[in-house]
Amino acid sequence: MKKEIKNQWTKWKKNFKKVYENFRKNPKKTTLTILNTIMEIIKNNTLFFVFLVVNVFIGILLRYFTIHTVENLLSIKPILADLAIVLLLGAISFGLKEKNRFPYLLTVSIILSIICIFNSVYYTFYTSFISVSLIVTARYAVEVGDSITNLLKIQDFLYVISPILLTITYFYLKKTGRMAHKEKEKRSINKMINALFGAGVTLFLFLLTLTPTDIGRYANQWNREYIVMSFGVYAYQVNDIVKSVEPQLTSLFGYDKALKTFTEYYQDRAEEQTWKNKYTGIFEGKNILVIHYESMQNSNIGLTFNGQEVTPNLNRLVKDSIYFSNFYSQVSGGTSSDTEFTFNTSLMPTNSGTVFVSYFNREYVSTPLLLKEKGYYTFSMHGNNGSFWNRNAMHETLGYDRFFSKKDYEIDEVIGLGLSDRSFYRQSIEKLKEINEKNQPYYGTLITLTNHTPFDDVDKYGEFDVTLKENVYNEETGEYEEVIHPYMDGTKMGNYFKSVHYADAALGEFIDNLEKEGILDNTVLIIYGDHDARLPKTDYRRLFNYDLETDSIKSCNDEDPECVVIDSNTYELLRKVPLLIYSKETKEKLHQEVTNVMGMYDVMPTLGNMFGFYNKYQLGHDIFNITDDNIVVFPNGNWVTNKIYYNAQNESWLPLKETEISADYIKECTDYAENLLNASNATIVFDLIKRARETEESDSDYIEEKPIEGTE
């Protein structure tokens, strides 16, 4: 092999020198000769070049169909990255016998097509790209199969053009006899060297386009969309594989660096809470009931159709609660399980895998565990299988004494994925009565299920009209007549509103029963939306910009100030969820709306101040202590403050206040977000809370055993 490379290098230098001299003498003729040579190379290696072109092309298609901008269609950086990888993979085929080349290229094309298809479908649902580490959660996708098939689009099947065109090309070449003369050729080492050299040159050109920011984000892999935009889908997937095996090889991958990150981030943290405000200890000793409200978005509150409220019961509760109207979920690929985790630990989802599945055996400081230290009985309730999102194991890790799952309920009414909310609440009341009678403070989480995508059990939601009714004067009759416009009827969002209306009615009945049984006398009710409903942007545009006359979406322009532009940034802001704290105290005098921006990781410290517990390792803040200065960081590196929403994918921002935003402010917040995400990931992946506690115990034992100076 060394000899072949040396000979090939000598040949390249000789040919380059010859071409250079000819070009100086006759540029036009030399250029034509070069082009003819290139065409001859392509003609003699047609299958290889078809493999290159179609697999780079489907990478371009993926970026366009997911990120939806023309500049991404022709961005040179990801094209170079994809080309380098495809060249490298294709080069290997020349090292194989002729009869094995097509099967090899076809297999690789199928794999690359599958990568694009999976990422396309995943992006539709999660607005992110898939991770290999999430393959272990594939069984959960089976249980929500209706929602997956509902997300498939025609464009998701376009990526199969790669193996199809390759196969057509192969049989065409075979039929025309252009493959036959090579049957005796065993291997083409020189061609492989040439292809590898081409991959190396392409990779070098790609590396020249990178910035330190690009390299840093690729290494951390927080911002998957940015990585695919800058490095292409294939380079992203290669990096993802490395990141996915990292947790299983912690002793080999960055433990010291992670420990340093963890230590520096938490080194100035106090062991006990150092602040007080008017909410400190106001609910100490009271029972806590948490309702994990599936796919409940804040935009539902106050929304009406033809005078009928979408969420009449939530609307009523808002007036009597501490209501956080600028509250964001911070989920990644683990969706509902990510929310449960962040809500109870004030840590973020990991940059690979899901905590509930990949890191359930770590040590955490959680709300249930801290409340157990204060004498609380802790439990959770869910009408689904206990194995879903590995809750059986993770709820024990979080500190729940008892997990009531599907086996503890009679599945007497099914809507969507399983037990209906009405039945779940009704049966849970009986269990809560028994728990309440023990006169022991308790912390319980109820996880709802009905309001889950794909929202297609419309006939079971009950009557709720999402059309638009208009009284129009009829000149012929001289009377007003009711005209019905389709509006949101038949859309995914319209079906979602019907599902929400059902879920709200079930919640209202549940709260009435809690009041009736006296369970709320000494109990604080906490309600939060776990994440948004993943509704399409087109439905938002229809909701806000509906044209009555044409039954279509109005085109936004500068001449129409009432038109709401739904771009990628405004879409993210519309995905906020509600958070309510309700009790007899809030109903009587503490009710208020809190508009400061707040994230799921801020819940634990906020509640900790109210109920008297503290977590040294919390990432969030007591919202009543930090107020206007809070920053909410998302798992992909985006962040939001009261001033702006910042999109780290394309480095754009949306101003939320009329105030000047400096480059220093954006850098400061971006650095804050990156440090927070790195510290959180290090904490979880390397189980550093456990290590820190072991070190503290070891130091404590040493101090106790060390003899006092001057004694024996």
3-class SS string, 334-397? CHHHHHHHHHHHCCCCCCCCCHHHHCCCCCCCCHHHHHHHCCCEEEEEECCCCCHHHHHHHHHH
List beta partners, residue 593: 323
| Domain boundary pick from 210, 244, 278 | 244
Q: What is the reported pLDDT for 182?
A: 47
Domain count, the chain: 3
Structure letter (DSSP) for residue 325: E
One domain for residues 526 and 551: yes
Gap between the Cα atoms of 409 and 403, Å rounded = 12
Gap between the Cα atoms of 171 and 166, Å rounded = 9
One domain for residues 317 and 177: no
Pure H helices in 545-662: 568-573, 584-585, 603-611, 623-626
Q: What is the reported pLDDT for 307?
A: 95
710 within a domain of the structure (yes/no): no
Gap between the Cα atoms of 348 and 601, Å rounded = 7
707 within a domain of the structure (yes/no): no
434 within a domain of the structure (yes/no): yes
Query: What phi and psi, each to the nearest 5 degrees, are found at residue 363?
Result: -105, 130
Q: What is the number of other CB atoms lying within 10 angstroms of the CB of residue 167?
A: 14
Pure H helices in 437-579: 492-516, 537-544, 568-573
Structural tokens at position 107: 């297999």
pLDDT by residue (tens digit) across 535-563? Answer: 989 999 999 999 988 999 998 876 777 88
Nearest residue to 517 via CA among 430, 448, 582: 430
Mean pLDDT for the chain overall: 87
pLDDT by residue (tens digit) across 162-216? Answer: 999 999 999 988 888 766 444 445 567 778 888 888 898 899 999 999 888 788 7
Tell me which range, 274-278, 385-389, 708-712, is most confidently predicted by mean pLDDT.
274-278
The CA radius of gyration of the chain, in Å to the nearest whole number, is 30
One domain for residues 276 and 144: no
CATH number of residue 648's parent domain:
3.40.720.10
590 within a domain of the structure (yes/no): yes
Q: What is the number of other CB atoms lying within 10 angstroms of the CB of residue 68?
A: 12
Q: What is the reported pLDDT for 153?
A: 72
251 within a domain of the structure (yes/no): no
Q: What is the pTM of this model?
A: 0.80
Helix (H, G, I), strand (E, B) or coil at 1: coil
Gap between the Cα atoms of 122 and 706, Å rounded = 58
One domain for residues 18 and 120: no
pLDDT(8) > 60: no
pLDDT by residue (tens digit) across 463-512? Answer: 999 999 998 888 788 888 889 999 999 999 999 999 999 999 999 999 99
Instruction: Give 452-483 as a DSSP string.
Output: -TT---GGGS-----SEEEEEEETTTTEEEEE
One domain for residues 128 and 20: no
- pLDDT: is 122 or 623 the higher one? 623
Tell me how far CA of residue 695 lies from CA of 41, 74, 439, 691, in angstroms: 65, 53, 38, 6
For residues 649-683, one letter each, b for 16 or more C-beta atoms within 10 angstroms of the residue's C-beta and e for the rest, the string is beeebeebeeeebeeeeeeebbeebbebbbbbbbb
One domain for residues 271 and 211: no
Amino acid identity, position 263: T
One domain for residues 287 and 185: no
Of 156-160, 486-490, 516-520, 683-687, least confident by mean pLDDT is: 156-160
The answer to whether 342 touches 600, Cβ cutoff 8 Å, is: yes
One domain for residues 657 and 671: yes
One domain for residues 56 and 32: no
Residue 32, domain extent: 1-44
One domain for residues 373 and 503: yes
One domain for residues 26 and 84: no
The answer to whether 527 touches 289, Cβ cutoff 8 Å, is: no
470 within a domain of the structure (yes/no): yes
Gap between the Cα atoms of 83 and 53, Å rounded = 8
Nearest residue to 340 via CA among 524, 531, 142: 531
703 within a domain of the structure (yes/no): no
pLDDT by residue (tens digit) across 353-371? Answer: 789 988 999 999 999 999 9
| Domain boundary pick from 209, 244, 279 | 244
Gap between the Cα atoms of 578 and 315, Å rounded = 11
One domain for residues 312 and 207: no
| Domain boundary pick from 185, 212, 244 | 244
Gap between the Cα atoms of 1 and 8, Å rounded = 11
712 within a domain of the structure (yes/no): no
